[in-house]
A = this chain, B = another copy of it.
Amino acid sequence: MVYVYGFASGSKDQRDLLGGKGANLAEMTNLGLPVPPGFTITTEACRAYLSDGGEPEGLAEEITEHLAALEDRMGRRLGQVDDPLLVSVRSGAKFSMPGMMETVLNIGLNDDSVVGLARQSEDDRFAQDSYRRLLQMFGVTVLDIDAEHFSEALDAAKRARGTDDDLGLDADDLRELVGTFKVIVREQAGREFPQDPREQLDLAMRAVFDSWNGDRARLYRRQERIPDDLGTAVNVQAMVFGNFGMSSGSGVAFTRDPASGAQGEYGDYLQNAQGEDVVAGIRNTVSLAELAEVDRTSHDELIAIMARLERHYRDMCDIEFTVERGKLWMLQTRVGKRTPEAAFRIAIHMVDEGLIQMDEAVTRVTGEQLAQLMFPRFDESAERVLLATGMNASPGAAVGKAVFDSDTAVEYAARGEDVILVRKETNPDDLRGMVAARGILTSRGGKTSHAAVVARGMGRTCVCGADALDVDTKAREFRTRDGEAVREGDLISIDGTNGEVYAGAVPVSAALVVRHFEGEKVDDDLVSAVARIMAHADGARRLRVRANADTPDDVARARRFGAQGIGLCRTEHMFLGDRRELVERLVVAESEDDQAAALEALLPLQRQDFTEIFEAMDGLPVTIRLIDPPLHEFLPDLTDLSVKVALAEERGTVDEHDRVLLQHVRRLHEQNPMLGLRGVRLGIQIPGLFRMQARAILEAAADRTAAGMRPVPEIMIPLVASVRELEIVKADILAVAQEIEESRGVTLTYSVGTMIELPRAAFLANRIAAEAEFFSFGTNDLTQMAWGFSRDDVEASFFSRYFEHAIFDVSPFESLDQLGVGGMVEMGTKKGRKARPDLKVGVCGEHGGDPRSIHFFDKVGLDYVSCSPFRIPIARLEAGRSVLIARTNK
């Protein structure tokens, strides 16, 4: 077993063995770039160390050998008193991992060699500075001493000198600081700082190995789904010194601007400093252009190397370098992080430069990056007054007049005014107001509260749970913690990207990309990059993308955004507003005749809804889900109404209607409405309800067909657990269809299928498929039932603990739980297709718009995903990426 590799014997493809940093150092070495020599102790050594509880046999000897070779090459020995070799020790796992011990510089210095270094470098200050840095880094990262102790001592020394800058400390000050640091080590770690350089090296290596199992590293891995058994590599490298006077320095650079994506190098340089100083921002850095003025040779060499790296890596690179007395050294490179707009621009620029193909360009951007480009933002330069901070529930920047109820929201909006709907929390009755508003602000509820979910669904900006605000809907105002009042009609601005709420109107930058998707002609290079990438993704993807949309407006927008049909048209929203009283009539109906009359009155209204939707989605499938929620959701809340009636009785002012209504609310009350009389159960209990809906859908389709259009309704039955339920309801629908076809003399194109949202349905999908012409996985409910928790109830109560304990890395309502719920989707799809090979299978939970989930749905072979209109471009892009990532990885 070989545990140690010299830099010259590795390559960038060996990240598993050498870690990311080690692999890239090897790659640069082999490219002939000026990399200080060194070697990498492999992840295999780490794994052996961790499992055996000590260094594996032979490791010490290999290190000795490689160290000897390094010493020969450098002509100095570790610990040599007159001219010591110094080395750095750096961790480097396959994936970059915060929480692990990272770097100890200047290993090899001790009380003797620091004198030799001073003499040899003819720079006493440099030698003392290097030694105090070693003591500090070694103390903190190897001996686990609180960093505060060192930084306080450093600050004290600067105060004593009357300087703000560490350059203000001279050699003597630093020598004194070295003494202080040694005392700190002794007192805090209970041992002396080790004077033996090899002991320094071994301890640093072990500290790196041990840090793999530190709490933060473990938590990070769990959150990022990085396996626990990879281990980390350790890089040992000859030191070069950026702190060797003013002709030395350290810098970081990008081969393109990581913020805008513009072509051309971009970086920061700090004279007379070691690497960590640049990142820590202890002094002001200068730009690469300014480096050219100080040291043109190093600058030009750097620019040439960066160009070479970019061509070699075929991507924008991020590098770390050091100049030691005018000589450039490369210390690290990797593919650089970038902003969303930079990602799109860089991808397209590189295609145009011939560096990559379009296939690969699509894999270089993400749906989340596109999402960020779609949200409006506040101008960063604008002044603002912060009122409160809540949760960033649905991104975007919204400005409008504060209103406190739906009626007012609709009224303001009708006269063309932008409004922000402010509520303690929202419920389905607030829907009209939410539709009318630019944004929603609540003082209660988390990221999966009604307000948050609906807002995300509609692409409305939302800040929720801003609990510093005291919302008084009766007084039509809210107050901040400072007692400042915002009244109805006052302008406010909310930022759904960071959760902040501001007074007044903060200026907003328009999202050009959205205007482009909406069909506007936009002349902008970013938009054109996005458009080219979208076109290529659309050409490549296998998954079709549909929209979840309930209103003709949403349906029309979905179509503009590229929807290939409607995957979920909920019908319960059609029972709200003015129609609520008809539902009330249905609920309080004393006889079957009363019930029939109430349904009769709903029929033409529903038919009109569907007619408009079919018109907007002409020629494409529209999946309509028959009514799902329990009827009591359309009635007042039990507790509120009980209190109202009790108080009215006490005062002798009771309203007979309220009293009767309370009886029905009590009768229909359910302990667990999510697990009650809803979905297909309601359809079986009140057969007229589903029949009325089927009639409305199919009559609307017959009308459109007669008008020469091509409506394609897909009638979807919710909450089916047993094929028998579907059989009963389907027979009713087919009878209605036959009657309409006969009486109208038309042939309807329609199908009947089901949601798969109960574990039993997924488990017995083969049986369900005997009656279902299509499946649509309702992954929201499926998640609820699989885990046994309801979205409404759990987020506020215990999800934060679950994140802390890494039981989730993300809420399973935001991104599909692939292992559990995903496994059920896969099983259900396989079983369903086995029974009915041409079964159409889609998904209409919120997961249909989530990138990670979309890749999963593509892999398990679903036919389409359905998501809210604003997520459609994201889903299109990710569906393309899923195919192209697999293709480019081949």
Contact = CB atoms under 8 A, between A and B. Distances in A.
Nearest to A782: B759
Contact of A675 (B642, B758, B794, B817): B794
A885 interface: no
Contacts of A724: 805-807
Given A647-B646, A674-B671, A805-B684, A824 B759 contact: yes
11 contacts: A639-B639, A642-B643, A643-B646, A672-B672, A677-B793, A759-B788, A763-B786, A763-B824, A764-B819, A764-B820, A764-B823
Interface string A631-643: 0000000110011
Interface stretch (A13-21, A367-375, A592-600, A795-803): A795-803
B793 A670 contact: yes
B677 A674 contact: no
A470 interface: no
A124 interface: no
B824 A684 contact: no
A433 to B, nearest CB: 21
A781 interface: yes
A149 interface: no
A179 interface: no
Contacts of A790: 670-672, 675-676
A313 interface: no
Given A650-B647, A685-B798, A760 B787 contact: yes
A723 to B, nearest CB: 9
Nearest to A783: B760
Contacts of A492: none
Contacts of A824: 759, 763
B807 A725 contact: yes
A247 B726 CA distance: 59
A201 B794 CA distance: 69
Interface of A: 638-639, 642-643, 646-647, 650-651, 670-677, 681, 684-685, 719, 721-722, 724-725, 728, 757-760, 763-764, 767, 781, 784-790, 792-794, 797-798, 801-802, 805-807, 817, 819-821, 823-824
A375 B760 CA distance: 36
Nearest to A787: B721
B788 A719 contact: yes
Contacts of A758: 786-788
Nearest to A670: B793
A805 B726 CA distance: 12
B786 A721 contact: yes
B820 A685 contact: no
A620 B757 CA distance: 42
Given A646-B647, A763-B824, 16 more contacts: A642-B643, A671-B672, A672-B674, A672-B792, A677-B794, A684-B801, A684-B805, A721-B788, A721-B820, A722-B807, A724-B805, A728-B805, A759-B763, A760-B786, A763-B823, A764-B819
A590 B651 CA distance: 37
A766 to B, nearest CB: 11
B759 A685 contact: no
In the A-B complex, the 6 residue pairs with the closest CB atoms: A759-B759, A675-B790, A760-B820, A760-B786, A676-B793, A672-B672
A676 B795 CA distance: 9
